[in-house]
Amino acid sequence: MSLVLWNKPLFSALSSLELRTSLTSSSRSTPFEQNSSFWSLTMDNERKTKKKKERQLPEKKTALPLEEEDIEDLFSEKEVKKIRQSLLQWYDKNQRELPWRERSESDKEEEKEKRAYGVWVSEVMLQQTRVQTVIDYYNRWMTKWPTIHHLAKASLEEVNEMWAGLGYYRRARFLLEGAKMIVAEGDGFPNTVSDLRKVPGIGNYTAGAIASIAFKEVVPVVDGNVIRVLARLKAISANPKDTSTVKNFWKLATQLVDSCRPGDFNQSLMELGAVICTPLNPNCTSCPVSDKCQAYSMSKRDNSVLVTSYPMKVLKARQRHDVSAACVVEILGGNDESERTQPDGVFILVKRRDEGLLAGLWEFPSIILDGETDITTRREAAECFLKKSFNLDPRNNCSIILREDVGEFVHIFSHIRLKVHVELLVLCIKGGIDKWVEKQDKGTLSWKCVDGGTLASMGLTSGVRKVYTMVQKFKQKRLTTNSIPERKRTNTKRLRCS
């Protein structure tokens, strides 16, 4: 008998079979036994080669789990049953009372859609925002737009005003666009993950949350809290941002989700990550699934292992540093300085582009600068912008009543560190405001003039509100200083000099 193909793994397997057979079989000879010397020699050579390679290999270091191993390392049926039971019992007793968790016992489609809308609004608001901050915003939103049909009739400006202060304003725009699309199609609120994913701004997580909580579809959710819980339960130290690792978390979450109470289970998993399995100070002794947690078990056996080391800490991208000049332009009534009819005038607001950062929101005239500059350069840039955009030229059609550098502050976005220099420019227009407005070219720039009362009540971004607050404090301080009697101011000055 001759072998045509040489298959090393096959030879190893056959050799093992031959050895086991030789110990248990009768004296009857087999082809494998007839060649036992050959097999023995082959095995000896393989063992020697293997030992030689092992001696040549450097000492192994503790490595991160392989992605393939992580993906295959699912929960056992026993673990799944225990985790489901423990988490749901804990959640039933300890869940926080939140307005979006209020439910109706009715199974009417109208009630389901109403809850789906509430879950959608809350989940979008909760992205990158703390629960305590969201509660007030959610209540005000639901009072103004209690159903998706009410929201679909709103304008973007109304929505942005309601959203002001929450940040990440694109979320608000997507909510409005999604509501308009769902109502326009007329098929009711989408009730499956596949249909929900077709709505603008709804990703896998939000779709899973709405479908499982409002419509009881047996689907998982994976957000930051869920990733942290799963990473510690399975001691997964791979990069949580890596595509293959994210898929692994979705597989684990899919395996765990309870078929009878999918929405409650998903919320229990998120709740656990929010209040018990926190990033820095997890309360492991109070955790309902600590007995199934590999990271906790490892930390008890070895003090050098920290539960908080799971998941891996990923370095954030370095923030871009930008510098801008915000010019708060206040235009007083009257034709010139001597004919002013009111102490406070109107302010120019400019609408940002419909795409990009803070899309479609109102702000004071602002210019991005090429790095840090002096006050003269900033003023020249502001004058150029005002002349080009609004035909405001102090040497031609307006006079400067007051121009002061108010101060500066740093505003932090997720990826940008913006330093803002604030200037107050008070103008009086020759011929009056009305004639100046009539002459304006209705170009691509969208802008408007508003009085102080309107400005104070508008839904402005936190950055724009900071600018306005700085200007108001400056004006109040200047007003107080100017109201001090001359003699008193002189005495104060003398006291300071002495």
Alpha carbon 443 to chain centroid, angstroms:
35
Q: Distance between CA 38 and CA 32 in Å, rounded?
A: 9
Give the pairing type, strands 346-351 and 447-451.
Answer: antiparallel
In whole angstroms, give the CA distance from residue 397 to residue 328.
Answer: 18
Q: Which of 18, 113, 123, 271 is catalytic?
A: 123
CA 372 – CA 419 distance, rounded (Å)? 9
**Residues 330 and 426 sit within 8 Å (Cβ to Cβ):** yes
**Three-class SS of residue 425?**
strand
CA distance 127 to 170: 12
Contacts of 98 (CB under 8 A, 6+ apart): 122, 131, 135
Report d(CA 399, CA 335) in Å as an integer: 10
For residue 424, give the nearest of 371, 483, 480, 472 by alpha carbon.
472
Q: Is 330 helix (H, G, I), strand (E, B) or coil?
A: strand
Query: Please, is 288 exposed, middle or buried when counting C-beta atoms within 10 Å of its C-beta (0-12, 13-18, 19+)?
Result: buried
Helix (H) or strand (E) holding 90: helix 77-94
Residue 123 annotated in active site: yes
Per DSSP, the three-state class of 182 is: helix
Q: Residue 151: enclosing H or E segment and its boundaries?
A: helix 148-152
Catalytic residue positions?
123
